[in-house]
Amino acid sequence: MTGRSGSPALPARRIVATPLPWLGGLLALYLLVPLGAFFARVAASNDRGFSTPGLWGALYVSVATATISAASIAALGIPLAYVLARTRTRILKAVGVLVQLPLALPPLMGGIVLVAVVGPYTPVGEVFGRHLTDSMAGIVLAQSFVAAPFLIVAARSAFAAVDPSLREHAASLGHRELSRFWRVDLPIAAPGIRAGLLLSWLRAFGEYGATVVLSYHPYSLPVYTYVQFSSTGIPSTQAPTLLGLAVAVVVASLWRVRLPRRTRHPVLPTAGSPRPSVPKPVRCDLDVWLGDFHLVLAYSAVTPHLAVLGPSGSGKSATLRALTGLLGPGAGTVAYGAEPVHDVPVELRRIGYVPQGFGLLPHLRVWQQVCFGVGADPALARYWLDRLDLRGLQERFPSELSGGQRQRVALAQALARAPELLFLDEPFSALDAPVREELRAQMRALQRENELSTVLVTHDPEEAAYLAEELIVLSEGRVLQAGPREEVFSQPASPEVARLIGYRNLHRGTVVATGALVTGSARLGIGANGIAPGTPVVWSVRPEHVGVHPLLAPAHQPGSYEGIVVDCTDLGASTLIVVDVGGIELEARSATDHRFARAMPCRVDLPPEVIRVWPDPAGSSLPMPATTPLRSS
């Protein structure tokens, strides 16, 4: 079937049947129909009860006491919710359950419970001259008892949803516990707290059962309405009901109003210049359990630029958190330069910390983020804002920035405090390649120009080589090898280290003589290594050390072998060639202009001195790169 223009007509839009709108609509109908019927009755009534004595006084009592109750609940309930959300002791878990009981207890019974505590003849009642009940204070007590759980439950959930890493990041920027509560937890949890406070106010405003038991006088609006209904019936109750609905609508509407975010124009100070840092090599002896994960790491750096390299789950981030102090003094001993710091709280250390998620607070603009750290220098903040290409972005929120921009803001935030050490946890892993390369170059320039001491956590060996002078290779919470970068990269201690630092060609073979091994059907020349003939080994060669050339004549010279091109990919700056030598596939990277095609014969140069050999420590259990499948001899 075609449309008028001759193009195929689109099929009619199919309506997918689902019960969800109908189920939701049924409940909405049930809630709205009684309201509609009530308004219809009021419209048809001649006497709505607005002239009945005591109506406006009862409205005032309910509004005033509900407001006082909500304020009291907020002042006490928000701290309680915060403690319940952040503490896991059995006592506080029990408290968290008990404070919700008023929700399940019928309000009338709640009033009876309160009478046992604040009634006229109780010790508390005697202190207040037996006037605590039958007063507005009694109404506030009754309302607070039944309404407080709404705020506590909502605020507790809101505080529990705050990302703990934001609190840790604020601590690394010098903020203590109370400051973190006011500047991190409270602003982020504010929407949930606001909703809970609204529910508490509305519940207090409409409270009848506990109020009528504890404080019959003065009349609140619900008690007044019941009295009128008992004496005259429906007509005189229409006015208080209408007023109650109107107040609830106004309060709920005002609570949902959000003022538009005004665009601020902060006056930026003149940029200052960072002072050169004093090198602070890190020394540590860590031994800590994190659940069932055990981290053991001891190392003393001699240079100010250290990298911790390893796969996911190896303990890299735990190491960084231990070095910054976020795991507390029980993690082990740590020193920055000659200064032991393991007993110093993280907020008192002069460090910069850039976590994986950047650690930016969603409610702060860029300029506020950069100046958020305790002791941040506005002139230095301006310098880093300019240096990291953030000029013109100072009024944006994190949600309005790209990933690379957020990374730059996190760096500027850490550097604005003039830290003694900068800790970086996978800082560039989530960025696109061009942005990643640009930020790496900027970081290396910072290290060179300001002598900035850094500890970098990464899974990228190229990044570690670029930004560190010393390297710790970590796996499953244990150090596989540590030392100067050149030593680790040129002399990996094991096949696993070789794999982690980027050796792509890993294969098994057997040493058959001094200076020779057999792998697949090939016999390769190797350098002297002290491994006895007959020993199973793992051997490797870096792709850039594999030479591939057209086969112009049979390869007879030492270190040259005949092979077949398996695949060839032009990567722009280099060419990736996969060749088969005696049944073993090897990767080679070459800047040569030679054109290779699949199945083309070639000469492969493998000088003995570039081949690394280790005794096979794990047999067939050793993981190999996916691009170089194992073909044992």
Is the pLDDT assigned to residue 73 strictly greater than 60?
A: yes
Percent of the chain past pLDDT 90, that is, above it, reads 68
User: Is CATH 2.40.50.140 the classification given to domain 503-621?
Assistant: yes
* Average pLDDT for the chain: 89
pLDDT of residue 5: 47
DSSP-derived 3-state class of residue 443: helix
pLDDT of residue 8: 52
Residue scoring higher pLDDT (345 or 622): 345
Q: Tell me: the pLDDT tens digits for 469-513?
A: 999 999 999 999 999 999 999 889 999 999 999 888 999 999 999
pLDDT of residue 436: 82
pLDDT of residue 274: 84
> How many Cβ atoms sit within 10 Å of the Cβ of residue 533?
11
Q: DSSP label at 86?
A: H
DSSP-derived 3-state class of residue 455: strand
Is the previous residue joined to 378 through a cis bond, with omega within 30 degrees of 0? no
Q: Tell me: the pLDDT tens digits for 159-212?
A: 999 999 999 999 999 999 999 999 999 999 999 999 999 999 999 999 999 999
The DSSP H or E segment spanning 298 is strand 293-300
510, burial (CB in 10 Å: exposed 0-12, middle 13-18, buried 19+): middle
Distances (CA, A) of 523 to 509, 551, 581: 9, 19, 10
Is the pLDDT assigned to residue 261 strictly greater than 70?
A: no
Query: What is the C-alpha end-to-end distance of the chain, expressed in Å?
Result: 64
Is the pLDDT assigned to residue 49 strictly greater than 90?
A: no
Is the pLDDT assigned to residue 155 strictly greater than 90?
A: yes
Q: Which of 5-19, 351-365, 460-474 has the lowest mean pLDDT?
A: 5-19
136, burial (CB in 10 Å: exposed 0-12, middle 13-18, buried 19+): middle
| Beta carbons within 8 Å of 572's beta carbon, 6+ residues apart | none
CA distance 238 to 223: 14
Average pLDDT over residues 224-250: 93
Each domain of the chain, given as residue ranges in start order, spans 55-256, 282-486, 503-621
Average pLDDT over residues 112-128: 90
Nearest to 347 by CA among 171, 524, 475: 171
Tokens of 620: 């067939």
Q: Tell me: the pLDDT tens digits for 287-325?
A: 999 999 999 999 999 999 999 999 999 999 999 999 999
Is the pLDDT assigned to residue 610 strictly greater than 50?
A: yes
**Per-residue confidence at 574, pLDDT binned at 50, 70, 90?**
confident
| CATH class of the region 282-486 | alpha beta
Q: Tell me: the pLDDT tens digits for 388-438?
A: 889 889 999 999 999 889 988 999 999 999 999 999 998 887 777 887 888
Tokens of 520: 């697949």
Residue scoring higher pLDDT (83 or 9): 83
**Per-residue confidence at 329, pLDDT binned at 50, 70, 90?**
very high
The whole-model pTM stands at: 0.81
The DSSP H or E segment spanning 297 is strand 293-300
pLDDT of residue 332: 95
Q: Which of 234-243, 273-282, 533-542, 578-587 has the lowest mean pLDDT?
A: 273-282
Strands 470-475 and 516-519: unpaired
Is the pLDDT assigned to residue 558 strictly greater than 50?
A: yes
Tokens of 90: 């059995």
CA distance 325 to 348: 10
pLDDT of residue 393: 92
Rounded to 5 degrees, what angle do the CA atoms 385, 388, 391 make? 45
Tokens of 109: 């019974």
**Per-residue confidence at 131, pLDDT binned at 50, 70, 90?**
confident
Q: Right CATH number for 55-256 from 1.10.290.10, 1.10.357.10, 3.40.50.2300, 1.10.3720.10?
A: 1.10.3720.10
Is the pLDDT assigned to residue 594 strictly greater than 90?
A: no
